[in-house]
Chains A and B, each alone.
Chain A
Amino acid sequence: MKLALVLPLLVPLLTAVACILAGASRVAQRALSVLGSGALLAAGLWLLRSVDAGGIQVVQLGNWPAPFGITLVADLFSAIMVAITGFVALCVAVFALANIDPARERFGFHPLYQLLLLGVCGAFLTGDLFNLFVWFEVMLMSSFVLLALGGERPQIEAAVKYLTLNFIASGLFLTALGILYGQFGTLNMADLAVKLRDQPSGVTLSSAMLLFVSFGIKAGVFPLFFWLPASYHTPPVAVSAIFAGLLTKVGVYALIRVFTLIFTADPATTHTLIVVVSVLTMITGVLGAAAQYEIRRVLSFHIISQIGYMTLGLGLFTTAAIAASIFYIVHHIVVKTNLFLIGGAIGHVRGTGELKQLGGLYRDYPWIGLLFLIPAMSLGGIPPLSGFFAKFALVKSALEIPSYWPVVAALAVGLLTLFSMTKIWAEAFWKAEPEGATGGTRGPVPLLMLVPIVAMALLTVAIGFFPGTLLDLATRAAGQLMNPNGYIEAVLGRTP
């Protein structure tokens, strides 16, 4: 069904337009934003179902045939990503109702939020490298405005760092595209895959590395992650939560896409490099987190270390490992967004995210404590939560190869992650509150904040109790990624 593939793009676009047209009416914009995000979730699920039932879906926009026209493709991996994007989008949109102040809403928070989702979904669905670049820019532009919106001093500083680094990444991306286009005369991913197959050459390798660096900056891998902890803690929580959940994962998605579809001729070089970078990313991220004492900064460094796990699966390059990566991405998006939202709820009732100034939360808000423990323990990999199965699948796939030292790193980093989470627990929830702390509302947590947190915690628990469903889906998605012939055939309409 062609409509299923276009809807995840049309829905956020039309919602953004409707929000702009709603103009000054704050109530209408808020309602539209939540409705649109809900519709995006529905569209994502529909897409997932049609891809699951009908195989890879392709639309040639404007009916121009590939490789000349603009191609939209959804295989299982894309569909999973779009569906989870819809879920997170809905949760954060609800949370934002309680978190974003009227001034920011008046200056276009809601349309920008929808345009961000449009960019994310577009990046997941495109079948063309140049269009991937365009969607990245759509995403980058809206994220830049969202980051700077409000104009507080630390926000502007963060936005400048974020923008500079991402522009460098875009420049490298464009350079790689130029090289590829000059050499092969096409940027359609399926077409490139056919032309580059089994032809390891210096040109291919250099463009592969340029793309690796560019996507690596966006994903936040070692040693290019420094923009991330410098910027994610400054905007309102709803904004940093959606960034933390989705943006880096788009980089990971792009890495997985190009390094399973296009640059597969020389895995001994490229994929070994990915493994090394992944392990370094895991370790530096978690060590960075250990040194931080602000909730969102701690969590930002953990994003980096978790990104390492996801790219590790790609580097190991077996079906089981990539399935583990996909599982990990889904788990991570839900858990990490949730932790940011909880951090936001804490900030709301206490007026700060500094661990040293927090305390006694467990006494005042035992339920928030419980809700924090679910994603926190899941992040650390405690069974039976989703993180355990994600790590388990990854470690198992590594042992099957066999490849031992990434396993050692993965397990050690898991322990350190747990240490960090217990640090937040001990400081914010357990110890007595420092004298004289009076910030925040001190009232109950607003329902609009509570509902998305609970929904995400429930999904984490559900994945934990029924890991088979997701793992099965991820394994089939990885099967499609590892045998790109189906993808190529669906796009080009002929057998390669």
Chain B
Amino acid sequence: MPLQLAFSIVLLVRGHNEPGGGFIGGLVAACGIALHGIAFGIPAARRLLRVPPPMLIGTGLLIAALSGLPGLFQGQPFLTGLWGGSVPTLLAGQLKFGTPLLFDVGVYLVVAGIAVHLIFTMAEDQ
């Protein structure tokens, strides 16, 4: 499970120019949580997550929406990508910071939140 979560982060940060990204990263993260749920029960998985899944969805949407704003304040249209510096990382190559990464983080949280919410709800129904 920790391995899956770590892998999901790797997918997230290598996203922009290589295969990966927020969407698939979020799904992998949700798989990790779901695996924990299958092994130890849904209540344990909920405790592991600490926050209710709808909160993840809300936070993710908020981050994604806010990532469009910096461009706006620099006189560029909404959602214009702004890039900052970059740091080399071990697995994901050069990690570039910028608003698109922020947007991807938002997508990651939304996807993970929705998937986990769906899985929890269906699992608890039985």
| Residues of A bordering B, CB below 8 Å | 2-3, 6, 10, 13-14, 16-18, 20-21, 23, 59-63
A20 to B51 Cα, complex, angstroms = 13
B34-57 interface code vs A (CB 8 A; 1 in, 0 out): 000000000000000000101101
Interface of B is mostly: helix
Interface pairs (29), CB distance under 8 Å: A2-B72, A6-B78, A10-B65, A13-B61, A13-B65, A14-B62, A14-B65, A16-B61, A17-B61, A17-B62, A18-B58, A20-B54, A20-B57, A20-B58, A21-B55, A21-B58, A21-B59, A23-B54, A23-B55, A59-B77, A60-B77, A61-B77, A61-B79, A62-B77, A62-B78, A62-B79, A63-B77, A63-B80, A63-B81
Measured between beta carbons, the chain A residues less than 8 angstroms from B76 are 63
On whether the beta carbons of A23 and B61 are closer than 8 Å, the reply is no
With A20-B61, A21-B58 in contact, do A3 and B79 touch (Cβ < 8 Å)? no
Q: Which residues of A contact B72 (CB under 8 A)?
A: 2-3, 6
Q: Which residues of chain A are within 8 angstroms of B52 by Cβ–Cβ distance?
A: 23
Q: Which residues of A contact B80 (CB under 8 A)?
A: 62-63
Q: Give complex CA distance A21, B56 in Å.
A: 9
Which A residues are in CB contact (< 8 Å) with B59? 21
Which residues on the B side are within 8 Å of A13 (C-beta)? 61, 65
Quick check: is B70 within 8 A (CB to CB) of the other chain? no
CA distance A18 to B59 in the complex (A): 9
Count residues on chain B whose CB falls below 8 Å from chain A CBs: 18
CA gap between A156 and B81 in the complex, in Å: 43
Judged by a CB distance under 8 angstroms, whether B71 is at the interface is yes
Chain A interface secondary structure, helix, strand, loop or mixed?
helix
Q: Total number of A-B contacts with CB less than 8 angstroms?
A: 49
A305 CA / B120 CA spacing, docked (Å): 46
CB under 8 Å from chain A, chain B span 75-91: 76-81
Interface centre among B52, B61, B62, B76 (most CB of A within 10 A): B61
A21 touches B77 (CB 8 A): no
Q: Give every chain A residue within 8 A of B77 (Cβ-Cβ).
A: 2, 59-63
With A17-B62, A21-B62, A23-B52 known as contacts, the answer to whether A2 contacts B78 (CB < 8 A) is: yes
Residues in chain B near residue A6, CB distance under 8 A: 68, 72, 78
Residue of A whose beta carbon sits closest to that of B57: A20
Measured between alpha carbons, how far is A20 from B52 in the docked complex, in Å?
11
With A17-B58, A21-B55 known to touch, is A63 a contact of B65 (CB < 8 Å)?
no
Give the distance to chain A from B73, nearest Cβ to Cβ, in Å: 10
Shortest C-beta distance, A109 to chain B (Å), equals 14
Complex CA gap A3/B59 in Å reads: 23
Report B105 CB to chain A, min CB distance, Å: 15
Contacting residue for B71 out of A10, A18, A63, CB 8 A: A63
Contact B78 A59 (CB under 8 A): yes
Nearest Cβ in chain A — how far from B103, in angstroms? 10
Minimum C-beta distance from A327 to chain B (A)? 32
| B71 contacts across to A, CB distance below 8 A | 62-63
| A148 → chain B closest CB, angstroms | 16
A63 to B76, CA, bound (A): 7
Closest Cβ neighbor of A69 among chain B residues: B77
Asked whether A61 lies within 8 Å of B78 as measured between CB atoms, the reply is yes
Of A21, A60, A62, the most chain B CB neighbours within 10 A belong to A62
Q: Which residue of A lies closest to B52 (CB)?
A: A23
In the assembled complex, the Cα of A2 lies from the Cα of B71 at a distance in Å of: 11
CA distance A256 to B80 in the complex (A): 31
Point out the residues of chain B lying under 8 angstroms from A18, CB to CB: 58
- When distances are taken between beta carbons in the complex, the residues of chain A under 8 Å from B79 are 61-62
